[in-house]
């Protein structure tokens, strides 16, 4: 009991020394950003790699799938939309269940479970001999994708030092794009091989197995450990994340996390668990957190209504009337451009800040879409490929990456819930696009669809200008101050630190 009281008093002393300046934070220690660090970040985003792979391999499935493969008389447009959308519906469900999983079992264990679901669903899908089994397998894959899309950004935002948090989230997006590119490249040599889609789906179990084997090499989120009253394990995680920190700096960080999680019971002098209290209160959002969450969800909806996933899912079908030699060429162009310019975001997001990057790159997206519309009007295949590259370059440099980091706007005890809401916003809007695009394309035409997407992106620019704040270099605990007053203090960082 005496030790607990001393620890609580020590926590108060540490708390009194917490400065509002980011310069006093442990996150600003010199950081060795070497190949080992990058490899670890890539390894922990295995679920994101599989997310990209499985959402894109459907393109190959639709190209090589024969009616006799699934004992059907024909494969209609509706069948194609159902096969594609089943994954997105599953992802909505996965995003919902991942929130209690991540808060109850921890971020790493949730990713471990996610990997097992990827393995099981890949096996079911590859052995499908009926349409309903194929749809079921794709749905279960979607569940795994939903869990991963919620938990990976959440985990990365909580374990990454402020200096590389933007980099870590961008690497997550880059792994998604790498998964998409690999899917398309794997399809090309098998495009004329019967039942090759079974092998392509089954191949996805390998990364999942590697992650399960290596998961103990990564630290659990110290913020989650603080939230669940496990300060000693939280301390060990902090020491692994910040190997150059002194003991005092580790203590300062630990007690800051504990205080942020309302963990210290000043009456008893002990750390008390609020995990059960949080669930009993149904994770009620205060006005500040609700405002931050709404901004994150709206930006994610804008990401999905930009039209990008229409190209990811249906590029060969969109370009089928333009005499393209290889039906996979447009998809490969999309994925390759996406990888290259997501890589540029590794540099630009942390250097210039997310807000500036969005405001600049959204204009590139709009220009690309308008050129796209003109290309369809003139039936100019060369212009369409050029405008596709421009569009994807703008998308990948900003909107394709930044919305996933919006989870950092929320306080620790609501971050998992918020990540689930943001992920659900992604998959609900994604599902609407995948379910309706082919039908709308037949009714309105590609020219009108591109103008519609450009109009949506124009409104996204205004939303970003008035409501999306800059958080470059701020600790997760400081970011909450941006949303505390009326409206959103989009210039908070410039007024206080520049």
Average pLDDT over residues 482-489: 76
- Whole-model pTM? 0.74
Mean pLDDT of the chain, nearest integer: 80
Predicted confidence (pLDDT) per residue in 164-219, tens digit? 777 787 788 888 889 988 998 898 888 778 888 999 999 999 999 988 888 778 88
User: What is the average pLDDT across 453-468?
Assistant: 94
Please report which confidence band the pLDDT of residue 12 belongs to, taking 50, 70 and 90 as the band edges: very low
Q: Which two tokens stand for residue 82?
A: 């159902």
Is residue 8 predicted with pLDDT exceeding 70?
A: no
Taking the CB of residue 450, how many other CB atoms lie within 10 A of it? 25
Give the number of other Cβ atoms within 10 Å of residue 459's Cβ. 11
465 is written with which tokens?
């200008």
What is the model's pLDDT at position 276?
39
Least confident of 39-43, 225-229, 374-378: 39-43
Q: How many angstroms separate the CA atoms of 79 and 224, rounded?
A: 42
pLDDT at 299: 94
pLDDT band at 11 (very low <50, low <70, confident <90, very high): very low
Residue 115 CB neighbours (<10 A) = 25
Model confidence at 321, in pLDDT bands (50, 70, 90)?
low
d(CA 218, CA 18): 28
Of the listed ranges 22-31, 345-354, 404-413, the one predicted with least confidence? 22-31
Q: pLDDT band at 438, cuts 50/70/90? A: confident
Q: What is the structure's pLDDT at 322?
A: 63
What are the pLDDT digits (tens) for 26-82?
766 666 556 666 677 777 888 889 999 998 888 888 888 888 888 888 888 788 888
pLDDT, tens digit, 9 for 90 and up, residues 93-109: 998 888 888 888 888 89
- Rounded mean pLDDT, 132-140: 94
The tokens 């960080």 sit on which residue? 253
Give the model's pLDDT for residue 320. 65
pLDDT of residue 368: 94
Q: Residue 99: how many CA atoms within 13 Å on its side-chain side?
A: 21
The angle formed by the CA atoms of residues 447, 452 and 456, to the nearest 5 degrees, is: 150
Dump pLDDT digits (tens) for 468-483: 988 877 776 677 778 8
* Token output for 447: 């020219």
Is residue 455 pLDDT above 50, yes or no?
yes
Is pLDDT of 328 > 70? yes
Backbone angles phi, psi at 407, to 5 degrees: -60, -25
pLDDT higher than threshold 90 for residue 382: no
Calpha distance 420→422 (Å, rounded) = 5
Query: CA 155 to CA 218: how far, in whole Å?
Result: 11
List, in order, residues 6 or more apart from 68 with CB less than 8 Å away. none
What is the mean predicted confidence (pLDDT) over 216-245? Answer: 84
CB 90 within 8 A of CB 58: no
Who contacts 287 (Cβ-Cβ below 8 Å, separation ≥6)? Answer: none
- pLDDT at residue 117 greater than cutoff 80: yes
Supply angle C-alpha 443, 446, 447, rounded to 5.
Answer: 110
- The dihedral formed by the CA atoms of 171, 175, 178 and 179, expressed in degrees to the nearest 10: -170
d(CA 227, CA 275) in angstroms, rounded, equals 7
User: How much is the pLDDT for 240?
Assistant: 85
Q: What percent of the chain has pLDDT over 90?
A: 24
> How is residue 69 annotated by DSSP?
G
What whole-number percentage of the chain has pLDDT above 70?
Answer: 84
344-360: average pLDDT: 85
- The predicted pLDDT at position 132 comes to 93
- Alpha carbons 120 and 377: distance in angstroms, whole number: 45
Mean pLDDT of 353-357: 89
Question: What does the pLDDT look like over 245-288, one tens digit per residue?
Answer: 778 888 888 887 777 665 444 433 444 443 334 434 445 677 88
pLDDT on residue 144: 95
Say whether pLDDT at 141 is over 90. yes
Instruction: With cut-offs at 50, 70 and 90, classify the pLDDT of residue 302.
Output: very high
Only one residue has tokens 């949506």, namely: 456
Instruction: Tell me how far the alpha carbon of residue 210 is from its chain's centroid.
Output: 21
What CATH architecture does domain 35-218+286-497 belong to? Up-down Bundle (1.20)
Q: Rounded mean pLDDT of 399-427?
A: 83
What gap in Å lies between CA 191 and CA 328, rounded to an integer?
9
Question: In this predicted model, which residue has the larger pLDDT, 322 or 44?
Answer: 44
Tell me what pLDDT residue 242 has: 82
User: 274 with 230: CB under 8 angstroms?
Assistant: no
Q: Is the pLDDT of residue 89 over 80?
A: yes
User: Radius of gyration (Cα) for the chain, nearest Å?
Assistant: 23
264 forms bridges with which residues in the sheet? 271
DSSP 398-410: TTTTGGGGGGGGS
150-154, 233-237, 408-412, range with the lowest pLDDT: 408-412
Task: Evaluate whether 97 touches 420 at the Cβ level (below 8 Å).
Answer: no
Q: What's the confidence (pLDDT) of residue 31?
A: 61
Q: Pick from 312, 423, 446: which is nearest to 373 by CA? A: 446
Give pLDDT, residue 435.
Answer: 81
CA distance 361 to 367: 10
């Amino acid at each position: 009991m005496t030790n607990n009281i001393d620890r609580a008093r020590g926590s108060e002393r540490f708390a009194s020394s917490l400065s509002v300046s980011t310069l006093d934070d442990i996150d600003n220690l010199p950081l060795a950003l070497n190949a080992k660090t990058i490899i670890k970040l890539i390894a922990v985003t295995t679920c994101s790699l599989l997310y990209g792979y499985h959402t894109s391999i459907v393109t190959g499935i639709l190209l090589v799938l024969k009616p006799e493969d699934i004992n059907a008389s024909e494969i209609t447009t509706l069948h194609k939309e159902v096969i594609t959308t089943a994954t997105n519906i599953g992802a909505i469900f996965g995003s919902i269940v991942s929130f209690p999983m991540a808060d109850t079992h921890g971020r790493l264990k949730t990713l471990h479970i996610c990997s097992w679901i990827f393995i099981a669903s890949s096996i079911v899908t590859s052995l499908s001999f009926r349409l309903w089994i194929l749809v079921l397998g794709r749905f279960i894959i979607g569940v795994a994708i939903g869990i991963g899309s919620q938990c990976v950004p959440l985990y990365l935002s909580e374990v990454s030092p402020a200096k590389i948090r933007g980099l870590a989230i961008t690497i997550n997006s880059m792994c998604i794009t790498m998964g998409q590119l690999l899917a398309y490249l794997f399809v090309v040599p098998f495009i004329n091989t019967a039942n090759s889609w079974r092998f392509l789906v089954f191949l996805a179990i390998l990364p999942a197995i590697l992650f399960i084997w290596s998961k103990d090499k990564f630290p659990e989120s110290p913020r989650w450990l603080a939230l669940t009253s496990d300060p000693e394990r939280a301390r060990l995680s902090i020491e692994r994340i910040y190997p150059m920190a002194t003991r005092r700096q580790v203590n300062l960080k630990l007690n800051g996390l504990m205080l942020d999680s309302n963990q210290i019971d000043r009456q008893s002098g002990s750390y008390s668990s609020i995990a059960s209290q949080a669930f009993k209160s149904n994770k009620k959002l205060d006005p500040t957190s609700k405002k931050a969450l709404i901004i994150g969800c709206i930006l994610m909806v804008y990401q999905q209504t930009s039209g990008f996933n229409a190209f990811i899912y249906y590029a060969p079908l969109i370009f089928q009337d333009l005499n393209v030699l290889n039906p996979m060429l447009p998809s490969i162009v999309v994925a390759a451009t996406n990888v290259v310019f997501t890589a540029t975001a590794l540099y630009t997001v942390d250097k210039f800040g997310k807000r500036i990057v969005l405001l600049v790159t959204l204009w590139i997206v709009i220009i690309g879409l308008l050129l796209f519309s003109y290309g369809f009007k003139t039936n100019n295949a060369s212009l369409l490929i050029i405008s596709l590259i421009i569009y994807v370059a703008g998308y990948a440099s900003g909107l394709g990456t930044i919305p996933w980091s919006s989870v950092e706007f929320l306080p620790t005890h609501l971050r998992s819930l918020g990540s689930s809401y943001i992920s659900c916003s992604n998959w609900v809007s994604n599902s609407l696009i995948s379910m309706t695009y082919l039908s709308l394309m037949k009714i309105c035409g590609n020219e009108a669809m591109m103008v519609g997407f450009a109009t949506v992106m124009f409104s996204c620019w205004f939303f970003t200008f008035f409501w999306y704040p800059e958080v470059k270099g701020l600790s997760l605990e400081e970011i909450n101050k941006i949303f505390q007053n009326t409206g959103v203090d989009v210039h908070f960082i410039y007024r206080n630190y520049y």
